[in-house]
A and B are shown apart, each in its own frame.
Chain A
Amino acid sequence: AQKVTQAQTEISVVEKEDVTLDCVYETRDTTYYLFWYKQPPSGELVFLIRRNSFDEQNEISGRYSWNFQKSTSSFNFTITASQVVDSAVYFCALSEEGGGSEKLVFGKGMKLTVNP
């Protein structure tokens, strides 16, 4: 069964601090996909990144970076030099390949508050 665990429920930082959001997943499949979504206070879900299980290269996009480690089943997300606009709930999600569905299974989310 698929499961995503975001152990941290809420983090508060001061602007310009770096912050890492943890995500641990469980799956029996060898092919799967991992995602991060951002949900700002306005409520929409904004796609940030998708990685497949065969690509363990870390990725950097501006102030965002992702560390995927299959050995520990983790897909952590780091925001460097955080800004107030980063304040949101961040969800990690997992999708398994096949079956014609590829539904997303979300973690419980982590609320990040960046204070000026």
Chain B
Amino acid sequence: EPEVTQTPSHQVTQMGQEVILRCVPISNHLYFYWYRQILGQKVEFLVSFYNNEISEKSEIFDDQFSVERPDGSNFTLKIRSTKLEDSAMYFCASSEGSSVEGEQYFGPGTRLTVT
């Protein structure tokens, strides 16, 4: 069964460093998302991406964040200068279509620890 994959599973970085989280969505999916979950809290939407551009972003997704689909298969989230409060589990998700057409499938997550 196709699945969303994410690498790495755990990333430790120092405050101020740049990190890139990688995701490979399900191959025929067209909508891509990043969410984050601070330990013990709810899952929060960061950004959605469709047709090679951001379709919506949350207040969390400030200028330090960017997303890219560099090669038609990968979908990346970059944090330019990490802060302690960026420590969280980051989930990538993809869906075949909009909510009308299907649900979002989530990857296993990347745990980001900023020290």
Contacts and interface: CB of A to CB of B under 8 A. Distances in A.
Co-complex (A, B)? yes
Interface of A: 32-33, 35, 37, 43-47, 50, 52, 91, 93, 95-109
B44 A106 contact: yes
25 contacts: A35-B103, A43-B109, A43-B111, A44-B106, A47-B104, A50-B102, A52-B99, A52-B100, A91-B43, A98-B98, A100-B48, A100-B50, A100-B55, A101-B48, A101-B50, A101-B55, A102-B48, A103-B48, A103-B58, A104-B33, A104-B93, A105-B45, A106-B42, A106-B44, A108-B42
A91 B98 CA distance: 20
Given A47-B106, A95-B99, 5 more contacts: A43-B109, A50-B99, A97-B99, A100-B50, A102-B48
Contact of B98 (A45, A50, A102, A106): A102
A17 B67 CA distance: 45
B45 A47 contact: no
A107 B42 CA distance: 7
B89 A104 contact: no
Contacts of B111: 43
B99 A45 contact: no
B92 to A, nearest CB: 11
A9 B16 CA distance: 35
Given A44-B106, A45-B106, A47-B105, A99 B56 contact: yes
A37 B106 CA distance: 10
Contact of A50 (B43, B93, B103, B108): B103
A109 B107 CA distance: 18
A4 to B, nearest CB: 9
